[in-house]
Amino acid sequence: MDTVHYISTDILSLETVNEIITQNKRLELSEEARVNIEKCRNYLDEKMKTQEDAIYGINTGFGSLYNVKISNDNLSQLQENLVKSHACGTGDIVPDEVVKIMLLLKIQSLSYGYSGVQVKTVERLIDFYNNDILPVIYTLGSLGASGDLAPLAHLSLPLLGEGEVFMDGFRQPAKKMLEKMGWEPIVLQSKEGLALLNGTQFMSAYGVYALLKATKLSYLADIVGAISLEGFDGRIEPFNELIHMVRPHKGQIVTARRMNELLDGSEIIAQPKKHVQDPYSFRCIPQVHGASKDTIDYVKKVFRTEINSVTDNPNIFIDSDLIISGGNFHGQPLALTLDFLGLALAELGSISERRTYQLISGLRGLPPFLVSNPGLNSGFMIPQYTAAGIVSQNKQLATPASVDSIVSSNGQEDHVSMGANAATKTLKIVDNLERILAIELMNASQAIEFRRPLKTSDFLEMFLKSYREEVPLVEEDRILHYDIENTIAFLQNLQLDESVFE
């Protein structure tokens, strides 16, 4: 197994990101990337020797101060001041996993040779990544328009020996980290601060992390839904291929096919049924789960484009001898798709909770609340309350962030995407979905025991056996909080085939 990922112009896919993270690969610049960065930096240095006209962000102020010309003697100080002044984040600490992806994506974006940074600046970011030196970044502060200014400022501060990092399990000043590593602070050159701060890597990293989790949870939703169907003594007919070929949405077809595969060989599904139809939460699994799959696929395409793009400003085009100020830092493509993803995942949670509700309702030969001796035992009465509360919160979180915009920088930045808010709340929806599916699995695995001695399919029996090693059958009332947490951990620790992330 290759333990190194070389930063290059090769397409960086979500599957590749997943491999880099899960296989703990180190990063190195390819020779191609090194040459691209050096050529761009050399071009900018030569340009600035004779440049008298104002070039935004290189020899001018920032935002509404774009008309203030800065002398060449102060260009390095200008960039350092930019990083310090924009480090205005607050709120919760960004999770380590997201910070790691932010570093990867910022390195990737700077490597194309359109940003004017020094090679040693990019190499220091790579050093941070490879040594698990993670800048302390805050969730609040970005409007998702001029890039993720505040979060990326906090990402960049440790380059200067400023701010804080997590290192060796401790939160500590970046200055102390540099001393431990024997590194000198980076002296930023013209344009570098702006290249570091302009960009969509906060939104993108959250989106990539959410997508990786969402892809896994979408697959697990099918498995847990199949177990619920068996526990409810549901019918197989709604998954017949003929139904789905006359309404051939890709996700719908994939879900129906997977349900048939999951239930293949089941004694429970094969037994005669007394009921003619199942409730929608069972019967419409292909349509609902499938629509969410199609949304995930669409969002993946948008993010695949984004993480292989240059999103700082201005951009330097050597061959055309042009430095152009534009708006590639604007997060609108991400804001819209993150909101879309949040809606799709909230719906996976919504239909999951409805299956849980059906399972505890005392229907189809199941005891009320899935426990023997109900009354003395409340059984699974209250986990459904928990799931319902989380589903309701997801509905609130699914309110689009991208419809909002607040003018900033004295009117210069008069439309913003609010993509950062879309990103952070979408990850909350993902984490909530994981909890909702965990509660459904608790209920479904309990319900299926009342179908014994009949067995479900070999695959689902194997899955349930593995689950029961972590969460025992509920015979009488106990503290179910621990069961919920252990079920969440079970789902998180499941290792899925890489093909699931394709």
Q: Label residue 68 by pLDDT band (50, 70, 90).
A: low
pLDDT at position 288 over 80: yes
Q: CB–CB of 348/286 below 8 Å?
A: no
Residue 187 has pLDDT above 80, yes or no: yes
Least confident window among 70-84, 143-157, 421-435, 453-467: 70-84
pLDDT tens, position by position, 75-111: 788 889 989 999 999 999 999 999 999 999 999 999 9
Q: What is the pLDDT of residue 64?
A: 57
> Is pLDDT of 192 > 80?
yes
- List b or e across 108-139, with b for residues whose CB sees 16 or more CB atoms inside 10 angstroms: bbbbbbbbbbbbebbbbbbebbeeebbbbbbb
Q: State residue 409's pLDDT score.
A: 82
Query: Over pLDDT 70: what percentage of the chain?
Result: 96
106-136 per-position pLDDT tens digit: 999 999 999 999 999 999 999 999 999 999 9
pLDDT of residue 367: 95
Does the pLDDT at position 227 exceed 70? yes
**Closest to 221 (Cα-Cα) out of 489, 486, 455, 434:** 434
Please tell me which residue in 43, 56, 114, 206 is annotated as part of the active site: 56
Residue 430: pLDDT band with limits 50, 70, 90: very high
- What is the average pLDDT across 37-42? 96
pLDDT of 63 reads 60
**229 has a pLDDT exceeding 80:** yes
Q: CA-to-CA distance for 25 and 12, rounded, in angstroms?
A: 14
pLDDT digits (tens, 9 = 90+) for 372-411: 888 889 999 999 999 999 999 999 999 999 999 888 888 7
pLDDT at 1: 59
57 pLDDT above the threshold of 70? no
Task: Name the token pair of 425.
Answer: 């709340």
Minimum mean pLDDT range among 99-103, 281-285, 325-329, 466-470: 325-329
- Quote the mean pLDDT of the chain: 94
Would residue 57 be called left, alpha or beta, if left means φ above 0 and alpha means ψ between -120 and 50 degrees? left
pLDDT at 2 over 80: no
Share of the chain above pLDDT 90, in %: 85
Which of 142, 151, 143 has its CA nearest to residue 87? Answer: 151
pTM value surpassing 0.75: yes
Q: Which residues pair with 322 in a beta bridge?
A: 317
Closest CA to 298 of 257, 340, 258: 340
For residues 456 and 436, give the distance between their C-alpha atoms in angstroms, rounded to a whole number: 23
Residue 67 has pLDDT above 70, yes or no: no
Give the model's confidence band at 71: pLDDT under 50 very low, under 70 low, under 90 confident, else very high: low
| Overall size of the chain counted in residues | 502
DSSP letter for each residue of 444-458 = HHHHHHTTTTS---H
Phi, psi of 390 (to 5 degrees): -70, -40
Local confidence band at 70 (pLDDT 50, 70, 90 cut-offs): low
**Domains of the chain, CATH where assigned:** 4-199 (1.10.275.10), 206-311+321-501 (1.20.200.10)
Res 254 pLDDT > 90: yes
Tell me: pLDDT of 40 over 90.
yes
pLDDT bucket at 337, cuts 50 / 70 / 90: very high
- The pLDDT of residue 145 is above 70: yes
CB-count exposure of residue 289 (10 Å: 0-12, 13-18, 19+): buried
Is 56 annotated in the active site?
A: yes
Per-residue pLDDT at 220 exceeds 80: yes
